Copies of this chain bind each other. A is one copy, B any other.
Amino acid sequence: MIGEQAKKVAAHVDSARQWQLLMDVATYGARQDGGVDRPALSDHDVAARNHLVDWARARGLAVYQDDAANLFIRLEGRNPDLPPLLMGSHLDSQPTGGKFDGAYGVIAACEVLAAMQDAGIHPERPVEAVSWTNEEGSRFLPGATGSSAFAGSRDLADMRARQTVDGCHVGEEIDKVIAATRASRRPLAGAGAFAHLEAHIEQGPILEREKTRIGIVEGIQGVMRLRITIDGEAAHAGTTPHALRKDAVVAMAKVITALDPLTREAEDVLRLTFGRIEVQPNVPNTVPESAILTIDLRHPSAAEIERVYALIEEAAVRHAAPCSARVERISKVDPVSFPEHVLAAIQASAAALGEPARRMVSGAGHDSLHLARICPTGMVFVPCERGISHNPLEAASLDDLATGTRVLAATAMTILDSGKV
């Protein structure tokens, strides 16, 4: 179901070349423990960008950057005025990050461009590999700065006015990076987008467990971040009878225990994580006065997130007694579904390459979340070791990464050929 040219480009994907570029880029911000610490807009980020710029120039590819410091490596189309097919992810990492989260998607896109060149493909429309700025949001919020500015879902001027965690002005940092990166300027989103494809490690254990190399990402879960503040009363641990206590930690434990059955459904789709706890005064011999619990709630359905939110609110008040509980929403990102014809193109590509694939929902957010709002978008997942990511131990195999890139290449060619996107 995919064309001969798609197969040809996939066949030109060079697993060793891709791995080498990944390892080269991983030297920028390399940690002693084998991980990567490459904050967005840092010197390491600039060095990684310029490494790709040199790589692109050596292959005769043009390089651009926009006002959000998104970096575009362009295989020119026969008709340069057509909106380009974009493939990308991000080069920034978590402070205790790995070599693959984000970087793999950018370098897979570069490898597809190289494979197209090697296969002698001259596409009608331009094809671009993109590095989107600050997906992680570790150095400054909000994350996905570059892709959300590009997609128009957030205002760049707003984001420029923020501060980084190390006390810098985001706008000045963006300007510095643009000045230090050897790429031509072009306007933000000026080129529009024909479609967006993103390859990424799964960051979960499912593909590895099922020995399936390709995940066809149907969409990205919605995320609600909420906070339960439980107020009790500090009291002496030795002298205060339990009947007179308002113990914030016991109340919190009951709330968590009461909510836990929500996660025991057979489908195991809901994600409910009690990741952060702050107790006051947090000393052994005082009955805790207050406990603040941060909850991360995810589901592919926005309606289901709202339904569970209501259950949490009710359970918090009921099970915290005699303490009081207050539930607040901190943030909410709606889920996104990728269009069926993009999923079909990925599925057909995997099938043509003889790779078993399974559909799945992304539990993590990605740049594609924002791109999906302005153009047909799809994601290809590959396995990572034990599902570990955001960790120096993050690992993926040369073969799995190459397989993902072959599917990415065939999908890109299929979408270019279909013309209908």
Contact = CB atoms under 8 A, between A and B. Distances in A.
Interface of A: 202-206, 209, 221, 223, 225, 234-244, 247, 249-250, 252-257, 260, 263-264, 268, 270-277, 279, 282-288, 294-296, 298, 362-365, 387-391
B253 A275 contact: no
Contacts of A388: 235
Given A260-B254, A274-B250, A276-B282, A204 B242 contact: no
A143 to B, nearest CB: 11
Contacts of A244: 205, 209, 387
Contact of A243 (B234, B268, B275): B268
Given A204-B236, A263-B242, A277 B275 contact: no
Nearest to A286: B275
- Protomer copies: 2
Nearest to A381: B239
Nearest first, the 4 closest Cβ-Cβ pairs linking A and B are A204-B239, A238-B363, A239-B363, A253-B256
A291 to B, nearest CB: 8
Nearest to A274: B249
A238 B223 contact: yes
Contacts of A363: 236-240
A408 to B, nearest CB: 20
6 contacts: A237-B296, A238-B298, A253-B260, A273-B287, A275-B284, A284-B295
Nearest to A237: B273
Contact of A279 (B202, B263, B277): B277
